[in-house]
Structures are given as C-alpha cells and as structure tokens.
Structure 1
Amino acid sequence: MSLLHAFIDESGQRARGKKASAHFIMAAVIVADEDLTHAKELLARLRLDLRRRPGDHLSWKNLKPHGQRLHVAKTLASQPWLTVSTVVVCKQHLTGEPLNEDQSYLYTLRFLLERLSWIARDRRRILHYTMAHIQRFKIAKLREYEENLRKKPDTSIEWGHLNPRGGRMDQPQNFELLQLGDLAASACGSAFNVDGFGNTERRYLQELSPCLYRRGSGPACLTSYGLKMHPRYETTKAAYPWVATL
C-alpha cells in the first residue's frame, strides 16, 4: 500500500493558565510519498522568494512582515498535492480539571490522528507521521500513549492506515519538511491567538483555507475535519462565527 506522510507542529501553549495562550493549535501537512520531492522544492522556492539562503530553517516567527506571511499562506494553498488538517483547542471554553502540558498535547494529538487516519483510509494508503520535538517530552511518552489509545474502544482512529510503529519526533532544523507543519500551524494560530498588541490576523488562515481537509458537505465538512474545533459547544460556535465562512 502506498504511503502518505504527515508533518506535525503546533502553535500556542499546551497548558491552561493566566499567561498561556487562549488556544492551542496542532497542525499536520499531509503529502503523498510521490510528492515529497515537490515538498522539498516548495521549501527551496519559498527560501528564494523570501531572500533566505539555500537550506535556511524557515520558521514563521522569523517571518515578521505581513507580506511574507501572506505569501507563505498563499503558496501553501496553491499546491494541489498538499493537504492541511488542524485541531484548535479553545481553552477558555473547556470545562473540568485542567490537564497538564503533556496530557493536553497528547489529547490534542488524538483528535489529529483520527483525522489523519481518515485521510489515509479514504486514499487507501498508510500514513507515517513525524512530529516536531517539544521540550521535556520524551518519545517513550508518545509510545505509551499510542499503546493506550489502541486499547480504547471509543476512539475513531483507523489504526490499519497508520504506521504500526507509531510516530517519530525530530527537530525542524534537522528534518526540513517539519517546517511545513510550523508554517501551517502558525498561520492558523495567528487567527486565534492575539499578538503583543492584542490583535489576531485571520487573513493567513483564509488564504490557507483551500488546502484544508474537507469531507462531505455542509459546515461540519471543515470544522469536524480540516479545522477541528474543540470543544464544539454552541457557545464555542457563537464565539467564532467567522470559521463557518472559510
């Protein structure tokens, strides 16, 4: 069975707290095995467009001008071989006891793995996923969580379409395709988390919208798939009415 690859990164802080971001976003850029060369060429072209050196690490936080960020979002969206799936955790709408950083990260990953496995199932492929390494998080925690998820009857993960060895972790500066995950996650994060002046910027996500994973028709074809909102209460929907216009 042919392969898909998902390159995963996040935006915002994982845990809840007064100084933490109001949203935690995890995003995956999905590329078919036969399009990996296109993905590398895309990064090379972006470096050229942005006047970076060949091989430079492309990080959203280092792209300060609005025009550069807009160009990145538009360029990603224009690639017919590229799909993006994101999970947006709206922490202000969560109830119950707060999870710690690792629990928050892994619970968000569960939602994302569901969607990645559905994409792979629909395309009749096996998906391998690589995650950007985060501080104080060891691969053993990921393996333990993956094993526990496999035993849970209430998940919707299509395990037969995910790499049976589990995900791997690496640094974006070492494994360049993870930089795609950083760019997608941060473009989405800009629409939800305020900057230093209290502003958000939806334009990047709006431009990225064409490559977001959609399935079926109606409003939920996006908000249940390519832009999974959690939790999805009526209050949450009312707080982000613009999402339905993407």
Structure 2
Amino acid sequence: MAHSFIAYIDEAGDDGLNPDRYRVPGRGGGSSHWLTIGATVWRQSRDLDAVRWAKEIREQLPQQKKHKPLHYKDFDHAQRVMAITGLCDRPMRATAVIANKPIIPAGMYEQKNQLYHYMCRYLLERLSWLCRDMRPMVPEGDGRVKIVFSRRRAMNYDDFQHYIQRLKDAADPEIRIHWPVIDISAIEAEDHGSRFGLQIADLVMSGLTAALEPDFYGNVEPRFARMLKPIVYSRGGNYLSYGAKIVPNADTIPLTEQQREFLAIFG
C-alpha cells in the first residue's frame, strides 16, 4: 500500500563548529551561527500539487531565474516575500529543529555528520508525531511517511539508514520516535534541483532560519517566520516543542532583542 505522507527534508546553515570561523557582521564568508534541519510534509496524494505550487512561484521570477531550481539564497528580499507568500497558506505542515552552534561545547560532535545525525533524530521524532496526529484526517495510504532528503555530498545515506535502524533497535525510552509511521527502507536522497518538494523545503527552512541567523549587517528577518506560522506544526498551541524546536533550550542561548521575536512568534 502507498505511503500516506511525503516529507522533504532540507537544511539551512551548515554544520561547521569551529569557533574561530563563525561569520562576523560586516565580513564575507564564515560559518553560520545556526543550523536548521526541517521537513515540509503533505499528503502523498498531493505531491503533484506541490509541483504546481513551486511552478507558480517560479513563473513570478525574472526571466533569468525562471528555469533554475528555486533557492532562497539566490532570491532578493522581494522575491523571498513573494515565494513565502505563495507557500504559507498551502495544505502542508513544516517541522524544524534549529541548533545554536556557538553554545555547543567544544569536542561534543567530533565525528563526521555527528551533529547532523543528532538533529535528524529530533526531527524524526517530530515528523513521526506529526504524521501520527494527522492520520485520522488522512485515511488514504498505510499511515507511513516517505522521507526524501536533499542530498549532501558528504553524507552516506545507506549509513544514515543503518543509524536510524540502530535507534529503532535500541528501544531506548529517550528516543521518542513513533516508529509505526517511519519507513526506514524508503528513506532516500535526491539532488535539490530534481524535486520541487526539496525546493519548497529549502524556502521554508531558510525563511524560518532568517529570524535567527544574522545577515551581513547583523540583522535578522522575523517576517518570514511570522508568515510561515500557519503551516508550522504545533500541539495545543505549543510550537517550540514541535514545529520550531530550538536546541539547546532557548533559555540557555544569548539571543538579541531581534532574535527574541522568534520566541514571541512561536512562544
């Protein structure tokens, strides 16, 4: 039987943890202060609808961008507003795990992809809860979610599947993934440009992260997070534990007044 849901997973930021290489306002280059890994989710039966959503955004772009994959980083501010506006009322949900990297103790994640794997565990928890919660409203399919990652060059997805299987086999009560909805064998990775769902995930995750990651001038943009709130997963009005999870706890992170607006939006 077909999957009930499909989830496209992308990231915003990078997983570099060298404290000497974080971006400094007014300078080019450097590593991001935040890493977001998140999923946009909709019914499997709506996957062709998502192609239309993305194409409608692309048709509004200047001619030189109309035939290129949608990438938040390639858009100017007005184009970002247009794209987010075109997504924030669609029948989808988003869930994201957002890590503040400078507060992570040195040496905590030394192995390749270790931070990424750790965050994916948190993401899969929330993705599984979302699909479990939505199942009564989505009777078609077998209740499981098809998971598609935006391919990372340094990532071995066979190894990632084995990592998820080890989490399942561990039967650790601290791992709160609702396993009946997760189809480990169907996890795959595709190039960003090959799937419109991945391009939508890029726009949503980058839009959320813009409220926390300082730009060249040291400013953040909470507008997109506010616009995207209607599609962000929550339970009983709780967003910060479900669809907009900050790690470690936001109370331990030294946020600027601008960044604290993210908590005001989702708190």
TM-score by length of 2: 0.84
Does 1:5 find its partner at 2:6? Answer: yes
* DSSP-derived class of the 1:40 partner: helix
Paired residue type of 1:8: I
The counterpart of 1:161, out of the listed 181, 186, 190, is 181
Which residues of 2 match residues 89-238 of structure 1 at below 5 A?
89-95=99-105, 97-100=107-110, 101-124=112-135, 125-152=143-170, 153=172, 154-217=174-237, 221-232=238-249, 234-236=251-253
CA distance in 2, matches of 1:118, 1:96: 32
Aligned residues: percent identity? 24
TM-score normalised over the length of structure 1: 0.90
2:96 is the alignment partner of 1:86: yes
Other structure's SS at 1:92 match: coil
Q: Distance in 2 between matches of 1:244 and 1:24?
A: 17
Q: 1:235 to 1:37 in 2, by over 3 A?
A: same
Q: Give distance in 1, aligned partners of 2:8 and 2:254.
A: 28
Pairing partner for 1:56 from 65, 68, 76: 68
Amino acid of the structure 2 residue aligned with 1:212: V
* Structure 2 residue identity aligned to 1:109: C
Equivalents in 2 of 1:55, 1:163: separation in Å?
Answer: 33
User: 2:33 — aligned with what?
Assistant: 22
Between 92-101 and 66-75, report the one with greater CA deviation: 92-101
Q: Which runs of 4+ in 1 moved over 6 A?
A: none
- Structure number with the higher helix fraction is 1
What pairs up with 1:33-52 in 2 under 5 angstroms?
33-52=44-63
Separation in 2, partners of 1:60, 1:164: 29
Shift of 1:233: 5.3
Q: 1:238: Cα distance to partner?
A: 6.2
Instruction: Render the CA deviation track for 1:36-67: whole Å, top value 9, x for unaligned.
Output: 1221110110011224566531111111x211
Instruction: Indicate if the aligned counterparts of 2:165 and 2:184 stay in contact, CA closer than 8 A.
Output: no
**Are 2:12 and 2:206, in contact at CA under 8 Å, matched by a contact in 1?**
yes
1:148 aligned partner, one-letter code: R
SS of the residue corresponding to residue 24 of structure 1 reads strand
What is the Cα deviation at residue 235 of structure 1? 2.3
Conserved 8 A contact 1:132-1:171: yes
Amino acid at match of 2:50: A
Q: Does structure 2 conserve the Cα–Cα contact (< 8 Å) formed by 1:120 and 1:162?
A: no
